[in-house]
Structure 1
Amino acid sequence: MSEGGDPSDEGGREVGERLVERLGERGVEYVFATFGTDHPTLIRGFAEDGAPTPILAPHEMVAASAAHGYAQATGDPGVVLVHVDVGTANLGASLHNAARSRVPLLVVAGRTPLTTDGETPGSRSIFVHWYQDVADQHGIVREYTKWEYELEAAENVDGVVDRGLDVATADPAGPTYLTLPREVLRREAPAPTPNRTTATEPATLDAGTRRRLADLLAEAEHPLVVTSYLGREEAAVPVLESFAETVGVPVVETAPAFDLNFPRDHPLHFGFGAEPHLDEADLLLVVDCDVPWVPKRASPRADATVVHVDADPEKPMYPMWDFHADLRVRADAQSALADLTEAFDPADGADRADRFGERGLARHERRRDAVPDAADADRITPDLLSHALGEALDDDAIVVDETVTNTPSVLRHCTRTKPGTYYSYCSSGLGWGLGAAAGVALARPDATVVGVVGDGSFVLGNPLAAVQMTEAYDLPHLTVVYNNEGWAAVSDAIADQYDEVGFDPSEFTRFDPGTDYAALAEGWGCHGERVSEPAELEAAVERALGAVEDGTHAILDVAVR
């Protein structure tokens, strides 16, 4: 082919088509895409037999959130395709969420064409190509990505795809970012290269550290495990369960708990948050956790020993992170806990496990007794709603949680017990839940998926785009809106900072007038229902779940007070 020629004129394959093919060779089944004018060659690739299936999302925040949920539910990297700088910017908080939640995403973005006068295939051809030319497109995402690169040479296409996926999935996982100038995508594709990617073996404890930790555990009177995302690897949950039972150690999950880390009805599950236990604990084993406690609320006692086991126990991604540890261990949590369990005879921790187990069972009983019967309630509280959902869902149903201020209620009363039946995220970039639930539904089509969101999260989640994608790809699930008609987190922040204020905080936090989300749902072709009375709640939940079982997306708008 002559220099500057069009490979498609001679029936040749182009770099963009080869890039899509390489994604498929790496096991990518779906690409969550918001297409733009820089993607024609990629679209040719998607049109080929055997290519990954593009999931069209009408908004980039929804695309990335769906990829995030899909990645959590499968353990595979999510792949997102967006349009130049503006599509990248439209990702909004989704990259923050993936980075802080340690979720592997490869984000592929177009790049405005480099040439301006038709010198080569892919050159600028419409006026917007000048407006979308920016000095540092990668700077939009650099704070939240582990790796970023621009494909400059056709010969590198396979290696660049491999590198983006490998870095995204390496522990600690997170987003990577690849830009694609249109001229490079139009060049002749190189010959395929072998797929030689190999997995990295997880790090475990050396013999000396293993002995030291075993001695600390044996000597402690009141040990405590604190975790947030150990359950990201579902196989790690029974390993932690075996460790807790063998050594006799209770477990707390910090809120937000990104995944189900420990069966929540287990006698050694001591709740959500370490703070109530810090006065007692003499050994804190922090495992796969970024924020083990909030120091303003409570801190470990002065003579307590703190051990942090994590893939990155120094947390370099956070500019300010000052949680003290007497021993930091860089290791894979699942392997480390399995090694420590082998150091103990089950009889060694039996008395301690029984003692803590009695306390745990009493905690579970008090939790159950705290929820009033709907017949006796004068309003729907978050606890009442969470309890109703927990009673209605089977053990295999999956809860995708973005209720934020009501997350403690969901954790306590919508009890999940199996690995892979609860997903959440860092809860700091609202708008994740609607897309994430659709991504989980795509990953787990045989499970009942229930997305629970606050009304603020619902609005910020681009609901029209999320519902359109859900309908287009037949991903029926239930969305439950904990509707308190405002931003409860902002109200809580005002109360946290000031004992008294000379104004009504609701003027700045309340959505007035409110929105009937059930009516919107019906307009979108979904099952929609609004509930405000406790006596109506159980039947409404059953109707909504029945609609999902029949293949209809359902939105239940529940007024909580």
Structure 2
Amino acid sequence: MYTASTAFLEALQEANVSYIFANLGSDHPAMIESLAEAKQLNKKLPEVIVCPNEMVALSAAHGYAQITGEVQAVIIHVECGTQNLGGAIHNAAKGRVPVLIFAGASPFTQEGELAGSRNEFIHWIQDVFDQRGIMRGYTKYNNEIRTGKNVKQLVHRAMQFATSDPKGPVYLMGAREVMEEEIEPITVDTNLWEPIMPSAIPPNAIKELAADLLKAQNPLIITSYLGRNEQAVNELIELCEHVSIPVIESCPNYMNFPTTHPLHCGHQWNTPSQNELIAEADFILVLDSDVPWIPLKNKPSNDAIIYYIDVDPIKEQMPLWYIPSKRFFKADSYTALQQLNMHLKMDCNIDSKTVEERLDKYSQYHTKQKDKLKELECSNSEHITPEYLTACVREIIDHNTIIMNEGISNYPTISNHLELHRSGTLFGSGAGSLGWNGGAAIGAKLAKPDKTVISLTGDGSYLFSIPSTVHWMANRYNTPFLTIIYNNHGWKSPKLSTLGVHPNGIAQQTNEFFVDFGTISDLSKIAEAAGGAYARSVKNPADLKDALTQCLNVVKEGRAAVLDVHIPTV
């Protein structure tokens, strides 16, 4: 039979979906039949990846899309599976990552009126008033498939939303009877469903921006996720070198600018004090950043001229957000930088002496900053510091390595000490729901099987990732990667948050923050038991480099590895 489910799966294939990350249920008999028939007939459809947990499924699709830019599909079970996506839908939404999610729905007939009518007790219990409402605050588009006759059009429309800036997740649902509907084969012209073309800056506005930039004595660029487009990184380097503009990465979740470049002037996260470059800047160009600074303690001067370029420059899904700026441009950063670079090449008003002096100034700043960071990397005979651990990780990575970073309280340390200088080598979730790292590493390895994937995670975010599911999947689908746990035996971030508000409070005086994990477990053994991963735990600094090398060799031989590194406690 050719059913709505058949047409749905064909639409995914037409949309260049490679994988369906699936946790199937009683709402999917027609889908399962269509997949089985396709396999029997050797019909090309996306490969199904069985995911025992929905959050891991969406995190894997998230990671794959980040690496390739290609939308993947997640199929889940009614409203239960929808809710079990958990924080992964927050991550995809806030990280602006395209993914299509489909959930079935309980049958809407109960006496055999249509194929797929209710025949299990659970169909009454899983029937809810507003299943789509669960996702409404996190998706760019949501809809219900009510007939198989236009299912392909709905899929391609959803994909168009997902892949148009600002990108993001989309959600479709369909009841069992609808997905069982037998229909005539559907053909659509997929060329008519392309994403919206990237936006540019108006020509006169480019002239104004360039003029303000060239008048500035202390210009500055701040970015967080420009590096999601590797071409944009090259354009940013060209701009910065042309007029000597320093770059700060604020809460980065990509490699946005080479950290070894003399104009790279550091990373900032929850900076507790004023950044001197931001304070002295008379011109700031913010490119692709949700939080360029935290105004409570770190902000520009009132006289600074600020320009904001982003695909979402007013953060439409953030109830409280404002960075007063001279101009806001809803534009693609790569396109905008191309425009600006082209304009500056024709501008004869560039003061070469000023450019040279700025390069010298910020090169010295860069060197001093790096020297201070190097001092923190010294080996300690008593315990492994996060700085030393990151420096050792830096020694084992090469041009073929992809880093998935969910270090949380160690985000600043990882950013500062990895010293990445190639685009497409660093990825973070872009959001705040922990547990992205494991599924995302699987997605990255599926996307780039020839790459070495390393996941850097805190012990809290490792546990949130559902490591039993992650490593069962890694073993079954041959996606070996190395997990390195920054194990401080608790949740450090809530402690830091408390101290940020109550630095001398009772919690600080009594050292009671309710974040200590207490008994130390060997977290690596979870992966060994669930997925046959190589498990190792290390506490002695003298053993660290050997452990890293051994784990990396295991991964390159085709087996996942988890290194549980004990660092100073919370």
TM category, shorter: over 0.9
**Structure 1 residues not aligned, in runs of 5+:** 1-11
Contact 1:434–1:466 (8 Å) recurs in 2: yes
Does structure 1 residue 557 correspond to structure 2 residue 564? yes
Does structure 1 residue 185 correspond to structure 2 residue 185? no
User: Residue deviations 1:209-265, cap 9 Å, x none?
Assistant: 01101101100111111111111111111111111111211111111x121111111
Change over 3 Å in CA distance of 1:69–1:165 after alignment to 2: same
Identify which of 388, 391, 402 aligns with 2:392.
388
Does structure 1 residue 447 correspond to structure 2 residue 451? yes
Contact 1:455–1:482 (8 Å) recurs in 2: yes
Change over 3 Å in CA distance of 1:465–1:100 after alignment to 2: same
Contact 1:245–1:353 (8 Å) recurs in 2: no
**Runs of 4+, deviation exceeding 6 Å:** none
**Cα distance between partner residues in 1 of 2:364 and 2:51:** 48
**Cα distance between partner residues in 2 of 1:249 and 1:326:** 19
Find the counterpart in structure 2 of residue 425 from structure 1: 429
Contact 2:468–2:526 (8 Å) recurs in 1: no
Does structure 1 residue 509 correspond to structure 2 residue 509? no
Identify which of 527, 533, 549 aligns with 1:542.
549
Find the counterpart in structure 1 of residue 378 from structure 2: 373
Identify which of 67, 71, 91 aligns with 1:73.
67
Does structure 1 residue 194 correspond to structure 2 residue 196? no
Shift of 1:341: 1.1
Shift of 1:447: 0.7
Find the counterpart in structure 2 of residue 4 from structure 1: none
Change over 3 Å in CA distance of 1:485–1:17 after alignment to 2: same
Contact 1:431–1:461 (8 Å) recurs in 2: yes
Identify which of 232, 237, 249 aligns with 1:236.
232
Find the counterpart in structure 2 of residue 518 from structure 1: 524
Shift of 1:353: 5.2
Contact 1:532–1:558 (8 Å) recurs in 2: yes
**Cα distance between partner residues in 2 of 1:13 and 1:23:** 15
Contact 2:161–2:195 (8 Å) recurs in 1: no
Identify which of 435, 442, 445 aligns with 2:439.
435
Contact 1:476–1:551 (8 Å) recurs in 2: yes
Find the counterpart in structure 2 of residue 30 from structure 1: 19
User: Residue deviations 1:23-63, cap 9 Å, x none?
Assistant: 10111111111111111211223331211001111000000
Match runs of 1:58-207 below 5 Å: 58-190=52-184, 191-196=186-191, 197-207=193-203
**TM-score normalized with structure 2 length:** 0.93
Does structure 1 residue 490 correspond to structure 2 residue 494? yes
Change over 3 Å in CA distance of 1:361–1:498 after alignment to 2: closer
**Structure 2 residues not aligned, in runs of 5+:** none
Range that drifts further, 132-141 or 420-429? 420-429
Range that drifts further, 142-151 or 351-360? 351-360
Equivalent position SS for 1:126: coil
CA RMSD of aligned residues (A): 1.6
Contact 1:250–1:356 (8 Å) recurs in 2: no
Find the counterpart in structure 2 of residue 272 from structure 1: 267
**Cα distance between partner residues in 2 of 1:519 and 1:154:** 47
Identify which of 482, 491, 495 aligns with 1:478.
482
Change over 3 Å in CA distance of 1:502–1:332 after alignment to 2: closer
Count how many residue pairs are aligned between Structure 1 and Structure 2: 548
Letter in 1 for 2:527: A
Shift of 1:139: 0.9
**Cα distance between partner residues in 2 of 1:411 and 1:103:** 22
User: Residue deviations 1:339-392, cap 9 Å, x none?
Assistant: 111222497564155224423541453145223432x54211111111100111
**Cα distance between partner residues in 1 of 2:197 and 2:131:** 34
Find the counterpart in structure 2 of residue 9 from structure 1: none
**Cα distance between partner residues in 1 of 2:34 and 2:372:** 54
Does structure 1 residue 210 correspond to structure 2 residue 206? yes
Does structure 1 residue 462 correspond to structure 2 residue 466? yes
Find the counterpart in structure 1 of residue 248 from structure 2: 252
Change over 3 Å in CA distance of 1:231–1:177 after alignment to 2: same
Shift of 1:194: 2.4
Contact 2:235–2:337 (8 Å) recurs in 1: yes
Find the counterpart in structure 2 of residue 8 from structure 1: none
User: Residue deviations 1:447-495, cap 9 Å, x none?
Assistant: 1100011010011111101111111100000001100010100111111
**TM-score normalized with structure 1 length:** 0.95
Match runs of 1:44-59 below 5 Å: 44-47=33-36, 48=38, 49-59=43-53
Identify which of 6, 10, 14 aligns with 2:3.
14
Shift of 1:505: 4.1
**Cα distance between partner residues in 2 of 1:189 and 1:243:** 55
Letter in 2 for 1:517: L
